[in-house]
Amino acid sequence: MVLLLLVMVPQSLSYYRIQQEAFETMVTRSKNTRKLDYLSSLLLDRKDAKEIRLFNMFQAVIKKYIALFQNTRKDVDQVHKKQMGISTFSSCLSAVKYADKILFLQNGRVLGFDAHEKLIRTNADYRKMYNLQKEAYV
């Protein structure tokens, strides 16, 4: 079984990279990204930067930029974590029935560690995720 999982790791990583590129494209078109671009242009354009300093707005613009950047980064990190988990689970779905034990994680917490048949019977979250993925492939 270990050999099978090792073969699936590169497939999962490739899928993750593709999803990451698609997500980053989506993020560059977001409302927050447009705001970040606008604020940085204010600070970098010679005329606008002069006006900002003249009216003592430099610190306010910098604080707004940092807050937007941190919020955007937090959202990106959350989606990346979800994508990696979904990618790994999706690629292992066909082999999951044959594993001796399955480690089921959600949001970094261990929700189950047992054979597929027992997790299907006893773990509602695992059963729901498995059935959603199964329906997507059927």
109 shares a domain with 81: no
81 shares a domain with 27: yes
* Per-residue pLDDT at 126: 83
* Per-residue pLDDT at 83: 59
Question: What residues make up the domain containing 41?
Answer: 1-92
Per-residue pLDDT 10s for the chain (138 aa) are 333 344 344 555 566 666 666 666 666 777 888 898 899 888 888 888 888 888 898 899 999 999 998 888 887 777 666 656 555 555 556 666 777 788 777 777 788 888 888 988 998 888 887 787 776 655
Cα torsion for 45, 49, 52, 56, to the nearest 10°? 160
- Spatial separation of the C-alpha atoms in residues 94 and 116, rounded to whole Å: 12
Determine how β-strand 109-114 pairs with β-strand 102-106. Answer: antiparallel
80 shares a domain with 61: yes
119 shares a domain with 71: no
* Per-residue pLDDT at 116: 84
